[in-house]
């Protein structure tokens, strides 16, 4: 056995020799951000060792640390096995601060008819609380005027929670935070793999349940109400997130025939899922469309009334899990594609989440000068998703990156001098310096290509399934926090969306959240959407033999006809 002391809190644990630092930290109950779940690819689980400590470990595999970081004693926790007693310095833990997370989206006018209702019985001096017409319990005195619900958008990376007055429909408070599961596994497939074991499921479930319960407590304090006056919570999220939040093993989502264990459209006891609200409080899960087209898209379809729109409307939620739906005169078809975490700033050399100091806007002037805008106006320390997409789009537009995604040579005569001088060598490879501290590598560009290629291929397959060409689409609705902050022109410039969509793009915001609010405020939508979901045709991209060919064609930055 060896002893590991985790600094700065000096938490100590003894583990068998050969245990990785990441595994030891988890055994000690500490959080070390590891979005790739220990695969050694994301480079985010950096910890620092003293020279004496480095002599007591063995580093395995290939990883993303620079020569400078290695000289400073940094190692990847997931790839470093302990052979002797050591002290480990953890990161400062400030990555969650100052996050810029979108909380609002397009929503329909809600006619209020909530699932939770109350009736005061004067003769008995108590109030009966009902859920869907069934009596849930009694409260002392007259509490008819105190009735609240919470909507939680469970994103793969972020959480948004808002407290709603069920009588008025007004928002009383809202909060956002990181999904704590992202520290252990960034994308959906990694979480499915991790949660396939009882220990992994317990880790991910306890993290999400605890964080949501914490948010509910803070919402109650902010609104000046008691937790016991919150009677229902609605979870809106993709299929995997809903399974994990309901403590259900999502393993069947990761293997053929890709069927969800739970289908949603159900009301559960909130207390059974770690939520401290009214003793008889309920938890509602909106219906899922398929294994990878989840309740977030059901909520988005409801919020935008996609089924009621005339003509052809494409709805795309851009995120780690790229989900999309096509409505042709109300007839719905849906698909999903694994975009990966690049648009969340993961697997990017200088990538970070949308926090203070992240570059969120990037542009190049006529003479090659650059302009950047950071979140909060702080000094640039990294690159979040919208800034990443802007940067790649601008570099493609100005010829710094060619149609195949390669940087031009440093001496390319076609480039303005101001751009040529930003093409620099880092660790022997070409990179583009956005600032002195923040740069874009060839590998980063490749990550953007993979993400945009997956979404574009999904769009092409979805349109082809209904015999519709891009030019025949009447409007394109881009949903999600990332989609709201990115520029439509950047989406077109890199080819994530066809050029035929120009002038037709609408940013509709966080419709997972606004649709969840509609479920909370009007119970009639629940049965209506259960029925509509059953009518949605799902295009399973994994079953198409030529998907890989289309995906490869969509990797390039040049606009090509299918």
Query: 83 is written with which tokens?
Result: 């052979």
pLDDT value at residue 97: 41
For residue 94, with 0-12 CB atoms within 10 Å meaning exposed, 13-18 middle and 19 or more buried, which class applies?
A: exposed
CA dihedral for 509, 187, 298, 286, sign (positive or negative): negative
Beta strands in 18-110, from DSSP E residues, in sequence order: 46-49, 57-59, 74-76, 80-82, 86-89
pLDDT value at residue 101: 46
Query: Which three-class secondary structure state does DSSP give residue 44?
Result: coil
Alpha-carbon span 270 to 212, nearest angstrom: 12
- Give the residue extent of every domain in the chain: 2-89, 116-295, 298-340+462-553, 342-446
Who's near 427: CB < 8 A, 6+ residues apart?
Answer: 66, 67
For residue 429, with 0-12 CB atoms within 10 Å meaning exposed, 13-18 middle and 19 or more buried, which class applies?
A: exposed
Alpha helices (H) along 354-402: 385-397
Query: Which three-class secondary structure state does DSSP give residue 446?
Result: helix
Q: What is the mean pLDDT of each run of 10 residues along the chain (562 residues)?
A: 86 88 80 66 80 88 71 87 90 46 56 93 95 95 96 90 95 90 84 95 96 96 96 96 97 91 96 96 97 95 95 91 93 91 79 84 93 92 91 96 94 92 90 94 95 94 95 95 78 95 93 95 96 95 81 85 49
pLDDT value at residue 94: 35
Contacts 24+ apart (CB under 8 A), 217-220: 217/276, 218/175, 219/150, 219/161, 219/162, 219/163, 219/172, 219/173, 219/174, 219/175, 220/163
Alpha helices (H) along 305-426: 385-397, 417-420
Alpha-carbon span 32 to 181, nearest angstrom: 11
Alpha helices (H) along 380-496: 385-397, 417-420, 442-465, 481-485, 488-493
Peptide bond into 342 cis (omega under 30): no
Task: Answer yes or no: CATH 3.40.50.800 is held by domain 116-295.
Answer: no
2-89 matches 116-295 in fold: no
For residue 266, with 0-12 CB atoms within 10 Å meaning exposed, 13-18 middle and 19 or more buried, which class applies?
A: middle
Alpha-carbon span 113 to 71, nearest angstrom: 63
At 481-512, the pLDDT tens digits run 766 678 899 999 999 999 999 999 999 989 99
Task: Answer yes or no: CATH 1.10.290.10 is held by domain 298-340+462-553.
Answer: no
Q: How crowded is residue 70: how many other Cβ atoms within 10 Å of its Cβ?
A: 13
The CATH number given to 2-89 is 3.10.20.30
Interhelix angle 295-304/511-521, nearest 10 degrees: 80
Query: 45 is written with which tokens?
Result: 């689980």
Q: What is the DSSP letter of 113?
A: B
pLDDT value at residue 341: 74
Give φ, ψ of 127 to 5 degrees: -115, 130
At 153-167, the pLDDT tens digits run 998 888 999 999 999
């Amino acid at each position: 056995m060896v002893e590991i002391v985790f600094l700065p809190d000096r938490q100590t644990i003894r583990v068998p020799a050969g245990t990785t630092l990441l595994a030891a930290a988890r055994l000690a109950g500490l959080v070390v951000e590891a979005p790739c779940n220990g695969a050694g690819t994301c480079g985010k689980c950096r910890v620092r060792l003293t020279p004496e400590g480095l002599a007591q470990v063995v580093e395995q595999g290939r990883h993303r640390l620079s020569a400078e970081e290695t000289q400073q004693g940094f190692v990847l926790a997931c790839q470093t096995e302990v052979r002797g007693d050591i002290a480990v310095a953890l990161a400062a833990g400030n990555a969650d601060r100052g996050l810029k997370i979108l909380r609002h989206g397009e929503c329909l006018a809600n006619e209020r008819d909530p699932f939770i209702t109350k009736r005061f019985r004067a003769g008995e001096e108590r109030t009966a609380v009902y859920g869907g017409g069934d009596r849930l319990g009694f409260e002392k005195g007259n509490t008819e005027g105190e009735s609240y619900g919470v909507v939680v958008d469970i994103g793969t990376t972020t959480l948004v929670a808002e407290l709603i007055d069920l009588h008025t429909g007004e928002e009383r408070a809202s909060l956002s935070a990181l999904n704590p599961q992202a520290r252990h596994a960034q994308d959906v497939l990694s979480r499915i793999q991790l949660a396939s074991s009882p220990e992994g499921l317990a880790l991910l479930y306890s993290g999400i349940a605890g964080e949501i319960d914490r948010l509910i407590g803070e919402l109650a304090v902010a609104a000046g109400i008691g937790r016991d006056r919150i009677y229902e919570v609605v979870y809106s999220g993709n299929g995997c997130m809903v399974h994990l939040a309901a403590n259900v093993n999502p393993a069947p989502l990761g293997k053929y025939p890709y069927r969800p264990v739970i289908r949603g459209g159900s009301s559960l006891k909130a207390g059974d899922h770690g939520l401290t609200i009214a003793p008889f409080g309920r938890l509602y899960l909106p219906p899922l469309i398929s294994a990878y087209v989840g309740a977030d898209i059901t909520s988005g379809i409801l919020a935008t009334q996609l089924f009621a729109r005339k003509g052809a409307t494409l709805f795309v939620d851009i995120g780690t899990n790229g989900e999309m739906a096509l409505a042709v005169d109300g007839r719905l078809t849906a698909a999903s594609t694994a975009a990966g975490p690049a648009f969340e700033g993961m697997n990017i050399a200088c990538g970070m989440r949308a926090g203070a100091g992240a570059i969120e806007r990037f542009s190049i002037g006529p003479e090659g000068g650059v302009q950047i805008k950071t979140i909060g106006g702080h000094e640039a320390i990294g690159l979040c998703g919208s800034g990443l997409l802007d940067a790649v789009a601008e570099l493609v537009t100005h010829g710094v990156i060619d149609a195949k995604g390669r940087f031009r040579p440093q001496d390319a005569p076609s480039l303005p001098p101001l751009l040529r001088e930003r093409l620099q060598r880092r660790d022997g490879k070409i990179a583009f310096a956005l600032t002195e501290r923040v740069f874009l590598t060839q590998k980063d560009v490749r990550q953007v290509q993979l993400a945009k290629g997956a979404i574009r291929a999904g769009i092409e397959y979805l349109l082809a399934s209904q015999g519709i060409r891009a030019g025949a689409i009447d409007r394109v609705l881009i949903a999600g926090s990332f989609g709201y902050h990115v520029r439509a022109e950047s989406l077109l410039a890199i080819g994530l969306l066809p050029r035929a969509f120009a002038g037709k793009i609408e940013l509709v915001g966080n419709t997972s959240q606004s649709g969840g609010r509609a479920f909370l405020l009007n119970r009639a939508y629940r049965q209506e959407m259960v029925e509509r979901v059953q009518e949605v045709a799902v295009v399973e991209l994994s079953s198409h033999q030529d998907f890989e060919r289309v995906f490869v064609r969509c990797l390039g930055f040049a606009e090509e006809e299918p």
